[in-house]
Amino acid sequence: MSASALVQAALGGAAPQAAVPEAAGAVADADAAVALAAVVLVTAATVLIAVHGLRLSRTTSDFYVASRTVKPWWNASAIGGEYLSAASFLGVAGLIVVSGEEGLWFPIGYTAGYLMLLLFVAAPLRRSGAYTLPDFAQMRLGGRLPRLVTSALVVVVGWLYIVPQLHGAALTLAITTTLPRWVGPVAVIGIVCLTVLAGGMRSITFVQAFQYWLKLAALAVPTIFLLLHLGATGESVTAGGAAFDPLPAEATGASPLGVPSGDLTFYQTVSLILALLFGTLGLPHVLVRFYTNPDGPSARRTTTIVLGLLALFYLFPTALGVIGRAHLPGLAGSEHADATVLLLPGALVGGVAGDLLTALVAGGAFAAFLSTSSGLVVSLAGVMSQDLFRGTVRGFRIATALACAVPLGVALLTGTGGLAGAIGAVFAFTASTICPLLLLGIWWRGLTARGAVAGMLSGAVSCGGALLAAQLVPADSSVAGIAVVRVLEQPAAITVPLAFLVTVLVSRAAGAPVGRRTGQVMACLHAPEDADGLAGVPEEISRWRP
């Protein structure tokens, strides 16, 4: 069965929409072999680049922050590689298929979040001289409690973020090959564990920079090819302008945004924007990359380049989502809209060309899972090794194994949901917990340890509780019931202000004076730095740093 025949069988009248996963299992051996070969090539390139990085990783600092020698272009490519996850590569197009223009909030928010990083966080965080977010918390606030709470939140965020990557790998291999769904998560975790163990941050930097450009090509080439094909055959890209028209009721399902297609309320829109903008500031695997820049100005240049790279990338999944909504509308009625970019080449082109394009997309998708998971595992291993294993290289490697094992178990025991929606929930959680610590810690001298801890815990309890309740609350078609579910599914508009308010109120109530030490730390964060970035700052965090 060719790729085009597979799509027709899955979406045509001969088979129900929900048959996509089952039909995917009937992919012809030749088609599966081509897609599998692309995945193997991506894996081989990843391992080879990681081995090259191993030759350059000689010191503990290489493992944690690549000895702070990564130049802006390299670092920006690496950030793009790890930030553009399953939600970006597969989920954005799926959201547009299901939700129309409302799905565009995700690529807009993902990109705009880096503007927040550029303005408020990038340079001061690099000047702090920290290796991890818990290092920053301890340096800024003193004592172990802020460090321990921050460490726990970083681990939770990292694990929650890795799971959708593994679900995306399961979906990709199930759609494009005959392999069982468990193979994808196991393969991703195995490769990630190997590459991180090989050379830490130094090795992963090369891997992620390569994978950004691979992912860009894997979406750009099929998008351009499909547009040219549609133009040559005289077909409309939007099928007569219907790309954003409401879908028929029987084809409209619950979207990964948490609401029926075309029904995103004003509150949910504001909440989603807050989650995406402020959530970017709290992503540990993104923030740790700024520690690898030589200085604050290079961190700013890195962020500026990232903005351009992300804007360029998101043109292509957005275009594929528009094409998919017009030409594969049946996917909106299934639970597998995230497969849009995988199914489009076979549906519109078919034949050998369609198979090759599908294989290219599959390879790019696998690169997305590998690069994001690698960045997350590096950041988690750095945090856990310092707090549990004295920050040694051996401790880093033990922590790497732990950082891989837990999300793999969770992914194997849970089903695949909307990828962008799952990542959106993680953004809401980070916006409600880590973001207040960073913004207030960098820009407000009055922040105290008690205030920071109270704010992080209140954000974690309120946001985490709302997201959990959204999964447990029974469906209620009443107006009040729908309103409650909408608030629970998009809690950031409530939980983010709450976390900031609790942080400020508890800090002011504590009444701790702003002493000389706080003045030194704030000067370090905002004054032009020397090569160290820690001149004049008490070295009490040296016990926790390699």
pLDDT in tens, 484-518: 777 788 899 999 999 999 999 999 986 665 666 78
Q: What is the pLDDT of residue 233?
A: 79
Q: Is 20 helix (H, G, I), strand (E, B) or coil?
A: helix
What is the predicted pLDDT for the residue at 201? 66
Domain spans of the chain? Answer: 28-544
Counting as low any pLDDT under 70, the low residues of the chain are: 1-31, 52-69, 131, 198-203, 236, 238-264, 290-293, 296, 332-335, 415-421, 474-483, 510-516, 528-546
The whole-number pLDDT of residue 21 equals: 42
Between the CA of residue 475 and those of 220, 264, 414, what are the distances in Å? 40, 17, 21
Backbone angles phi, psi at 224, to 5 degrees: -65, -40
Task: State the Cα–Cα distance between residues 385 and 399, nearest whole angstrom.
Answer: 6
Alpha-carbon gap, residue 181 to 429, rounded angstroms: 28
Distance separating alpha carbons of residues 239 and 531, to the nearest angstrom: 57
> What SS3 class is residue 131?
coil
With contact defined as beta carbons under 8 Å apart, do 416 and 479 qualify? no
pTM of the model: 0.80
- Distance between CA atoms of residues 435 and 429, nearest Å: 9
- pLDDT given at position 28: 53
Query: Coil, strand or helix: which one is 543?
Result: helix
3-state per-residue secondary structure call for 443-499: HCCCCCHHHHHHHHHHHHHHHHHHHHHHHHCCCCCCHHHHHHHHHHHCCHHHHHHHH
pLDDT at 545: 42
Question: Is the sign of the CA dihedral 518, 304, 215, 106 positive or negative?
Answer: positive
Q: So what's the pLDDT on residue 17?
A: 37
- Torsion region of 258: left, alpha or beta (phi above 0 gives left; psi -120 to 50 gives alpha): left
Task: Give the separation between CA 444 and CA 312, rounded to whole angstroms.
Answer: 35
| Structure token pair of residue 26 | 């009937």
- The answer to whether the beta carbons of residues 163 and 414 sit under 8 Å apart is yes
Find where tokens 């995103």 sit.
264
Alpha-helical segments (H) within 234-295: 266-279, 284-290
CA distance between the termini of the chain: 56
3-class DSSP assignment, residue 254: strand
Rounded Cα–Cα distance for residues 518 and 183 (Å): 51
- CB contact at 8 A, 275 and 421: no
Is residue 387 exposed (0-12), middle (13-18) or buried (19+ Cβ within 10 Å)? buried
Cα 370 to Cα 356, 527, 546: the distances in Å are 21, 37, 27
Name the fold adopted by 28-544: Sodium/glucose cotransporter (1.20.1730)
Question: Within 13 A of 526's CA, how many CA atoms are on the CB side?
Answer: 15
At residue 476, the pLDDT reads: 59
pLDDT of residue 242: 43
In angstroms, rounded to a whole number, what is the distance separating the alpha carbons of residues 469 and 485? 9
HSE at residue 34, side-chain half, CA atoms within 13 A, is 17
* Cα separation, 45 vs 111, whole angstroms: 28
**pLDDT value, residue 333:** 63
